């Protein structure tokens, strides 16, 4: 009798522009597009994989969380990281800063919120790398330092994309049943973040929380962000105010008038700097 597939939540993390959304697209629908569409909030997709050996095959359904990498959206990012069983840490192999950001920001965030979960490094945009030997060497350093696999990928050509998700699935399979090592860790100080980005992040996270989770809440947030004309990279006070009003209207269909009112008030206070 076929066994139930194993389900795993995995998250892709890394700075904005490194190719996370392109990797998910390539892996899930085998397509690539040159348009850069900033990921708003979080998008959840699914694909199943066959892992293990031919004699002991295991089907794993990966629930893949693609989250916006923009600095300052820590609430949205933390929600995605919590409860993840594996992480694909993505950097742009032609951009040193994006690679350093993994060690300075993303790895500490994962360890703090989810512990030492199975991890795979993806050095993406390998099609643009002028010196493959050097790129491999750096990746090797990361894999040795953190004891996890690392793969040079190209979402554009499709090279090794499948392999990197499979490696992550295998890591999760191997770790299944082992307790996750929790580490008390302090995140290094980060650059100050634009206050309006912090407020937008807080509102997005708060709305999803009150809607019972990201999967229900985030599609609504995305739509309302669009209608409010709010650019997640540079939100304005006016756009945030419009967003707050729009979310209150949506909430009327789900919540009692008092909760709608208090949610709206709280968010306006964040915007007006009373508690942000």
Give least dist CB 42 to Mg ion, A: 10
Using CB under 5 A, list all residues that contact Mg ion: 20-21, 39
Stretch that binds ligand G3D, among 28-36, 112-120, 144-152, 208-216 (CB under 6 A): 28-36
Contact of 230 with 200, CB cutoff 8 Å:
yes
Give least dist CB 80 to Mg ion, A: 12
Positions 58 through 117 that interact with ligand G3D (CB under 6 A): 69
Candidate list 8, 10, 19, 196; residue touching ligand G3D; CB under 6 A: 19
Give least dist CB 153 to Mg ion, A: 15
Query: Which one of Mg ion, ligand G3D, none interacts with residue 86, CB within 5 to 8 A by kind?
Result: none
98-107: Cβ within 8 A, 24+ apart: 98/14, 98/15, 98/17, 98/18, 99/123, 99/138, 101/14, 101/15, 102/14, 102/142, 104/188, 105/71, 105/187, 105/188, 105/190, 106/13, 106/14, 107/146
Candidate list 39, 77, 79, 164; residue touching ligand G3D; CB under 6 A: 39
Give least dist CB 129 to ligand G3D, A: 10
Give least dist CB 264 to Mg ion, A: 30
Candidate list 35, 191, 253, 275; residue touching ligand G3D; CB under 6 A: 35
Whole-angstrom distance, CA of residue 173 vs CA of residue 158: 24
Candidate list 5, 7, 31, 36; residue touching ligand G3D; CB under 6 A: 36
- Considering beta carbons, is residue 17 or 219 the nearer one to ligand G3D? 17
Q: Write the DSSP assignment of 60-121 as a string of letters.
A: EEEEEEEE---TT-HHHHHHHHTT-SEEEEEEETT-HHHHHHIIIIIHHHHHHHH-S--EEE
Query: In 3D, which of 123, 164, 163 has the Cα closest to residue 140?
Result: 123
Interface contacts to ligand G3D, rule CB under 6 A: 16-22, 34-36, 39, 69, 124-125, 127-128, 154-156
């Amino acid at each position: 009798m076929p066994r139930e597939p194993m389900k795993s939540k995995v998250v892709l993390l890394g700075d904005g522009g490194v190719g996370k959304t392109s990797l998910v697209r390539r892996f899930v629908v085998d397509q690539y597009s040159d348009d850069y569409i900033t990921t708003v909030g979080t998008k959840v997709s699914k694909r199943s994989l066959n892992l293990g050996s031919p004699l002991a095959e295991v089907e794993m359904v990966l629930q893949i969380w693609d989250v916006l990498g923009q600095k300052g959206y820590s609430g949205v990012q933390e929600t995605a990281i919590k409860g993840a069983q594996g992480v694909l840490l993505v950097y742009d192999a032609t951009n040193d800063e994006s690679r350093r950001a993994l060690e300075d920001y993303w790895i500490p965030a994962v360890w703090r919120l989810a512990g030492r979960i199975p991890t795979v490094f993806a050095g993406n945009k390998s099609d643009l790398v002028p010196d493959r030997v050097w790129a491999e060497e750096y990746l090797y350093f990361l894999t040795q330092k953190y004891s996890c696999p690392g793969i040079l990928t190209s979402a554009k050509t499709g090279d090794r994309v499948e392999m990197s998700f499979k490696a992550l699935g295998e890591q999760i399979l191997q770790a299944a049943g082992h307790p996750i090592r929790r580490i008390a860790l302090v995140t290094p100080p980060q650059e100050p973040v634009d206050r309006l980005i912090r407020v937008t992040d807080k509102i997005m996270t708060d709305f999803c929380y009150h809607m019972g989770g990201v999967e229900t809440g985030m599609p609504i947030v995305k739509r309302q962000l669009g209608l409010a004309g709010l650019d997640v990279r540079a939100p304005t006070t006016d756009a945030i105010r419009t967003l707050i009003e729009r979310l209150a209207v949506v909430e009327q269909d789900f919540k009692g008038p008092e909760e709608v009112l208090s949610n709206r008030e709280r968010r306006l206070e964040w915007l007006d700097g009373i508690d942000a």
